Structure 1
Amino acid sequence: MEDWTSNPMNAVTVVLALLVIILFIWIAVVGGRLKKLRKQYTAVMGNTGLTNLEDVIVELKNDIAEQQQVHKQLKSQLEQVSTTLSKQKGKVGVLRYNAFAEQGSDLSFSIAIINDEKDGAVFSGIHSRENTYVYAKPLEKGQSAYPLTPEELKVILEAK
């Protein structure tokens, strides 16, 4: 029996065989990493139809710029709506009362329709046996150029 160390060709063959085995293991490891990298690349690229990463980044940058522009427009519209909404006369107060204590019932009324700044109008209907008189008084900041009755002041406070 011949020892592998005695013949230099046998030693070279063994070393080459070990080297080939190490290279196969290394190729398998690199192949696994390449497969993982390819999967990540596919996930990043998605269904963009682009094969160049630089094109994907440029497209994403353009999309972000477009979204920022849309965001600015929506923010501006929201501010306009908020401003308009605070000026809308949507706060209402209603009070029914008996204008003449000696007769009738609670057939007289006052209604205030105002906004956040207390601008709007107050309407009063005074009911008597023969007639009903309706009055409208404009309001600015909760005040009117016309004298306000206690009932009208009460509905203005109720409306806010």
Structure 2
Amino acid sequence: MNISVLLTVLVLLLLVTSVVAIALAVVALKRSQPGHARRASAMKGAASLPTDVDGLRAEVQALRVEVAEALRHLAVVRYDAFGDMGGHLSWSMALLDDGGNGVVLTSIHGRSEARTYAKNVAAWSCDQALSPEEEEAIKFAKAS
């Protein structure tokens, strides 16, 4: 196996591992917040749920607030970063919540190296300059 192919595979595995670690960290952070304890106790049994309509509405509203901060909007855009290479090996991925807050990750694959970038996104925009592919990933995530 060619050394550059091996390095590319290793970099991609490292990137996937990093994304999984970020996702697990977000889940752990969400679980450590006070709303999780209330939700966990409510799920222990149907007897703990409110039986009146107003109580159920309040429960649904609380769940909506909690879910709004989840990274539910995801989009991946694959492309060729360089004209002399094919295969759409480069990509940009947006991971955002309902308010458009999150991160856009980009991996640029070249012949001899791959580079990975992460940019914070707040309210569907970024303070740093975005590539057209990153903007497209955010646009697709917003539509999802």
Which TM-score applies when normalising by structure 1?
Answer: 0.53
- Between the aligned partners of 2:55 and 2:62, the Cα distance in structure 1 is 11
| Structure 1 gap segments, 5+ residues each | 1-66
Percent identity between matched residues is 29
| Structure 2 gap segments, 5+ residues each | 1-48
- Between the aligned partners of 2:51 and 2:109, the Cα distance in structure 1 is 58
- Between the aligned partners of 1:158 and 1:126, the Cα distance in structure 2 is 19
- Between the aligned partners of 1:93 and 1:109, the Cα distance in structure 2 is 10
- Between the aligned partners of 1:92 and 1:133, the Cα distance in structure 2 is 21
For residue 149 of structure 1, the aligned residue among 121, 131, 135 is 131
Q: Is the 8 A contact 1:94 1:109 kept in 2?
A: yes
- Between the aligned partners of 1:94 and 1:103, the Cα distance in structure 2 is 19
- Deviations along 1:73-96, one digit per CA (max 9) or x if unpaired, are 332221111112122111111111
Query: Does 2:117 align with 1:130?
Result: no
Secondary structure at the aligned position of 1:158 is classed as: helix
Query: Does 2:74 align with 1:88?
Result: no
Deviation at 1:110, TM superposition (A): 0.4
Give me the CA root mean square deviation.
2.0
Moved >6 Å (runs of 4+): none
Query: Does 2:122 align with 1:140?
Result: yes
Which TM-score applies when normalising by structure 2?
Answer: 0.59
Q: Is the 8 A contact 1:95 1:109 kept in 2?
A: yes
Residue identity in the other structure for 1:74 = L
Structure 1 or 2, whichever has the larger Rg, is 1
